[in-house]
Chains A and B, each alone.
Chain A
Amino acid sequence: MESARPNRRPHRLMTPSGRAMPDAQPSTDDPRPFGAAAVVALIAVGAFAGAVMRYGVGLGLPGPAGTLAVNVAGSLLLGLLLEWAIGRGFRSRAVRLALGSGLLSSFTTYSAFALDLTGLTPPVALAYVVTTYGLGFLAVLVGRALGRSAGGGPA
């Protein structure tokens, strides 16, 4: 297994005389991968929080209303997060794993949405699908716009 702690300075540039050159600007698009243990930990911690938050919303707002609320709010926040992360490189990968793949993807859910449909009459079920898809897709666009206006990545 790879080390969970990435080596931050793998290639220190040397002058012809052997002295280390001053550090170059850190890359904003650093492709260095995390170790598997770090990926697992980031996603697991984020997902724990996201699932518990969804459970909490469901206690206060049971049924389709709660599912709709988490899906729309989570889609907006994911749009914001991914826009923010563009071009931010290495550090943003940790944030994307913990908050995107972990927290927000676990906060939102498709299975509860699909199960909700079984308890609704056909016209209400259709309205629920249209509302969830419509507001969810709109939320992605709004979230990304907010991410850009809040100072999206340098790319």
Chain B
Amino acid sequence: MIDLPAVVLVGIGGSVGALLRYGTTRALDAEAFPYGTLVVNALGSFVLGLVTFAGVGDQALLLVGVGGCGAFTTFSSFAHDTVHRFETGETVPALVNATGTLAAASAGVALAWVLVG
């Protein structure tokens, strides 16, 4: 059962996270490589790790973790960009993006564990 406060927390966190993502990717994504998308996915994974491992309250987890970090990071844009680069022959950037995002996001989660786990 979804109760209203949880939905509002997740939604507000999602709106803020998405706007921060939009600003970051607009500033950093380049023709040569989607630096901004990689940064949001790594940074958002780090922050989700922090709030999860630090054992913050349920409300903070819904607002910052599920809403904020969930919406700040994105899989669909990452997948679309990677597929497009494979199709246009940019094989190296595509492979670096696919593996580098996984490595950077995992490193972010691991760093969060080291810091607060």
A contacts, CB < 8 Å to B: 39-40, 43-52, 54-56, 58-59, 70-71, 74-75, 77-79, 82, 101-102, 104-115, 117-118, 129, 132-133, 136-137, 139-141
Q: Which of A43, A48, A108, A139 contacts B12 (CB 8 A)?
A: A48
User: At the interface, is chain B mostly helix, strand, loop or mixed?
Assistant: helix
B66 CB within 8 Å of chain A: yes
Q: Is the CB of B74 within 8 A of A105?
A: yes
Q: How many residues belonging to B are interface residues under a CB distance threshold of 8 Å?
A: 47
Measured between beta carbons, the chain B residues less than 8 angstroms from A47 are 14-15, 17-19, 71
Q: Which of A51, A70, A109 contacts B11 (CB 8 A)?
A: A51
User: At the interface, is chain A mostly helix, strand, loop or mixed?
Assistant: helix
Tell me the chain B residues, 67-105 only, with Cβ under 8 Å from chain A: 67, 69-80, 82-83, 86, 98, 101-102, 105
Measured between beta carbons, the chain A residues less than 8 angstroms from B76 are 71, 74-75, 77-78, 104-105, 107-108, 136
Measured between beta carbons, the chain B residues less than 8 angstroms from A79 are 80
Q: Is the CB of B14 within 8 A of A51?
A: yes
Measured between beta carbons, the chain A residues less than 8 angstroms from B86 are 137
B contacts, CB < 8 Å to A: 2, 6-7, 10-15, 17-19, 21-22, 41, 44-45, 47-49, 52, 62, 66-67, 69-80, 82-83, 86, 98, 101-102, 105-106, 108-109, 113
Q: How far is the CB of A136 from chain B (nearest CB, A)?
A: 4
Q: Is the CB of A141 within 8 A of B19?
A: no
| Bound form: Cα–Cα A48–B83 in Å | 27
| Bound form: Cα–Cα A141–B82 in Å | 11
| Bound form: Cα–Cα A77–B77 in Å | 11
Q: Is the CB of B48 within 8 A of A136?
A: no
Q: Which residue of A lies closest to B25 (CB)?
A: A101
Q: Is the CB of B73 within 8 A of A110?
A: yes
